[in-house]
């Protein structure tokens, strides 16, 4: 069954599943998941299904989110559902959708409910809510992360494939890291915050949670754009991700500045992630990250604490006990700073912004940091709510102050099977660049989707952009990521560009007697064959000779036509070998064939 946004939309367009069936499945999964702390409010199922049926009746299957169920963090207005910001005394019924929600609906999405959060979006932990603590999708003893706790868990558990969160100091990234999903924190002003309950209005972003980078980008594309109703909206070109650029300079902290609070598993996970990025063609550049840490400390020292207090100010005065004790302690602190304190902080921030600008202009293209330095149990957080929360913001608190965009990515699982994630950061306006790197990195990890124990689908096709000095090479068999001969490509300095398909001009065969087992791709008349899964790798020209030197009959290197008509070098087989080979074209790819062989199930 389709799980990702792109798979669901494709299934709806093909007519194999209806939008109403997909929406009903979300409600069935919510009941089966049986965690009342994930959603604060749900739409009536019959109403949501009726909306999906009405959408299908209109017949416009071109909508980018056609029939996709989505969840929305409950500090973002959805018409017909209360907005609580996880504070019942604050609750109100909005008169219209937030701009981002209205754009989701216009793109064909079906909103099914409002998700739980740390009250007033104050926290990175997910435990500061009178509506309960959503279960971490991997270990119920661990915090889910916050403040967008419900949205992250809903996606990781497969309740919805897409959800909106928010991010002021890491709320759209930390819960993604703790739940093995993607958290996209856009550039400031790229998504309208009209209809969002402010945490810090000058820093707030609406963020996107999804199972893959391609899905997160689909969500961002649907909701991004300037909005005259939002005075902090900016007209920032969104762009579109292409192939992963070569030789990206990735900034990482000096070894002595890498903070993990004695979490050896996360420390090892970070080292492994950097090694993976290097193998994918990135240049790892160690830098002094102290200016970013200094910026992070500003967030809870100056005017931004006072800014957090604005939304809760009336409630603090009239009914302070209606506010969560920890949230109350933080927001009361916002009453103390003076105007002098605020201007001193503004001056310091401007100095640090110049340092950040210099680092990105002269030293690195992108930062690659742990999403969080460690994680904690719910019990630990309740015993020490302020300090442990602060630790979780080590690598996130400075980001919006410096107008950086961010992309939180699953990176690995610890020895206990718990997620570890990294975040890519770049100057505002470079969201597409992060997606170009992040989608390839995530695909290369071969991690399952969220907590669903399902493999990632192939990346959506992007234009191949082998750099000068490189040759694009398509592989179809044992050289695919994770298969026995993939190490040959990596040892020669190749980097993965994309996963895609050939044109439907090929027959696909399992060759007889090869070790390891290999397939062969045979060109037939145009349109008379099958579209076969391939990966396209960028191989240094200096290594191309060594690579093809190992190719033996009945295989050879020729030109393979991809689904979009591009031609790249790739493996082809000689027609004379067909008689001793098994036609496996119906499987559409080598992985699918191997899966069938491993399971021992009969061939279809």
Which residue numbers are catalytic? 73, 147, 171
Q: What beta strand segments (E) does 65-120 contain? A: 69-73, 110-115
Q: Give 183's strand partners.
A: 209, 408
Task: Give DSSP secondary structure letters for 1-54.
Answer: ---SHHHHHHHHHHTSS-HHHHHHHHHHHHHHH--TTSEEEE--HHHHHHHHHH
Spatial distance between the Cα atoms of 494 and 487, rounded to a whole number of angstroms: 10
Task: Give DSSP secondary structure letters for 485-508.
Answer: THHHHHHTT-EEEEEEEB-S-EEE
The helix/strand/coil state of 343 is helix
> Exposed, middle or buried: residue 128 (CB in 10 Å: 0-12, 13-18, 19+)?
buried
Q: What is the DSSP letter of 301?
A: T
The helix/strand/coil state of 287 is strand
Tokens coding 17: 């599943």
Strand pairing class (419-427; 366-370): antiparallel
Neighbours of 3 (CB within 10 A): 18
Spatial distance between the Cα atoms of 161 and 109, rounded to a whole number of angstroms: 11
For residues 315 and 322, the answer to whether their CB atoms sit within 8 Å is yes
Q: Give CB contacts under 8 A, 24+ apart, made by 9-17.
A: 9/64, 9/65, 9/66, 9/67, 9/68, 12/56, 12/61, 12/66, 12/67, 13/61, 13/66
Residue (of 488, 107, 444) closest to 273 by Cα position: 444
Rg (alpha carbons) of the chain, rounded to whole number: 25
Spatial distance between the Cα atoms of 600 and 105, rounded to a whole number of angstroms: 44
Tokens coding 120: 């007033």
- Alpha-helical (H) ranges within 250-338 are 264-279, 290-298, 303-318, 325-333
Spatial distance between the Cα atoms of 314 and 305, rounded to a whole number of angstroms: 16
CA dihedral 265, 266, 269, 271 (to 10 degrees): -110
Length of the chain: 604
């Amino acid at each position: 069954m389709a799980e990702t946004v792109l798979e669901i939309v494709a299934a709806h367009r093909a007519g194999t599943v209806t939008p109403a069936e997909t929406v009903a499945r979300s409600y069935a999964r919510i009941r089966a998941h049986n965690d009342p702390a994930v959603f604060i409010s749900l739409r009536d199922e019959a109403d949501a299904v009726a909306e999906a049926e009405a959408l299908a009746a209109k017949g416009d299957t071109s909508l980018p989110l056609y029939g996709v169920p989505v969840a929305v963090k409950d500090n973002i207005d959805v018409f017909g559902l209360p907005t609580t910001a996880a504070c019942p005394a604050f609750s109100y019924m909005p008169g219209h959708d937030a701009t981002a929600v209205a754009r989701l609906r216009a793109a064909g999405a079906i909103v099914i409910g409002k998700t739980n959060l740390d009250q007033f979006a104050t926290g990175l932990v997910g435990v500061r809510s009178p509506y309960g603590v959503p279960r971490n999708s991997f270990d119920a003893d661990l915090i889910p992360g916050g403040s967008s706790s419900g949205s992250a868990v809903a996606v990781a558990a497969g309740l919805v494939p897409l959800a909106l969160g928010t991010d002021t100091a890491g709320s759209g990234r930390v819960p993604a890291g703790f739940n093995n999903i993607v958290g996209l924190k856009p550039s400031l002003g790229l998504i309208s915050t009209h209809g969002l309950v402010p945490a810090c209005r000058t820093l707030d972003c609406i963020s996107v949670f999804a199972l893959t980078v391609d899905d997160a980008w689909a969500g961002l594309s649907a909701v991004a754009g300037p909005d005259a109703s939002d005075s902090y909206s900016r007209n920032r070109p969104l762009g579109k991700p292409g192939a992963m650029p070569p030789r990206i300079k990735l900034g990482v902290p000096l070894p002595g500045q890498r903070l993990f609070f004695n979490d050896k598993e996360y420390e090892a996970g970070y080292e492994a992630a950097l090694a993976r990025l290097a193998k994918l063609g990135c240049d790892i550049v160690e830098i002094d990250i102290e200016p970013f840490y200094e910026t992070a400390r500003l967030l809870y020292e100056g005017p931004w604490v006072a800014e957090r207090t604005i939304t809760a100010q009336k409630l603090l005065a009239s009914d302070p006990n209606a506010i969560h004790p920890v949230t109350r302690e933080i927001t009361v602190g916002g009453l103390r700073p003076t105007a002098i304190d605020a201007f001193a902080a503004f001056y310091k921030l401007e100095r640090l912004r110049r340092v950040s600008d210099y680092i990105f202009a002269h030293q690195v293209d992108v930062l690659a940091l742990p999403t969080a330095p460690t994680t904690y149990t719910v019990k630990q957080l309740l015993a020490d709510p302020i300090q442990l929360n602060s630790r979780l913001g080590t690598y996130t608190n400075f980001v919006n102050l410096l107008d950086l965009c961010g992309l939180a990515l699953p990176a690995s699982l610890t020895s206990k099977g718990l997620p570890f994630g990294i975040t890519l950061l770049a100057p505002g306006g470079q969201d597409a660049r992060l997606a170009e790197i992040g989608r390839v990195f995530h695909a290369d990890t071969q991690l399952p989707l969220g907590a669903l124990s399902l493999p990632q689908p192939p990346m959506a096709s992007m234009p191949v952009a082998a750099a000068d000095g490189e040759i694009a090479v398509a592989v179809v068999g044992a050289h695919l990521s994770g298969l026995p001969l993939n190490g040959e490509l990596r040892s020669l300095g190749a980097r993965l560009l994309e996963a895609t398909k050939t044109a439907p001009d090929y027959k696909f065969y399992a060759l007889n007697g090869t070790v390891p087992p290999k397939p062969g791709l045979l060109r037939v008349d145009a349109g008379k064959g099958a579209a076969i899964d391939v990966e396209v790798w960028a191989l240094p020209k200096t290594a191309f000779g060594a690579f093809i030197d190992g190719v033996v009959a009945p295989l050879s290197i020729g030109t393979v036509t991809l689904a979009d008509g591009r031609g790249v070098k790739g493996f082809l087989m000689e027609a004379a070998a067909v008689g001793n080979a098994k036609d496996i074209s119906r499987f559409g790819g080598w992985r699918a064939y191997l899966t069938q062989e491993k399971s021992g199930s009969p061939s279809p």
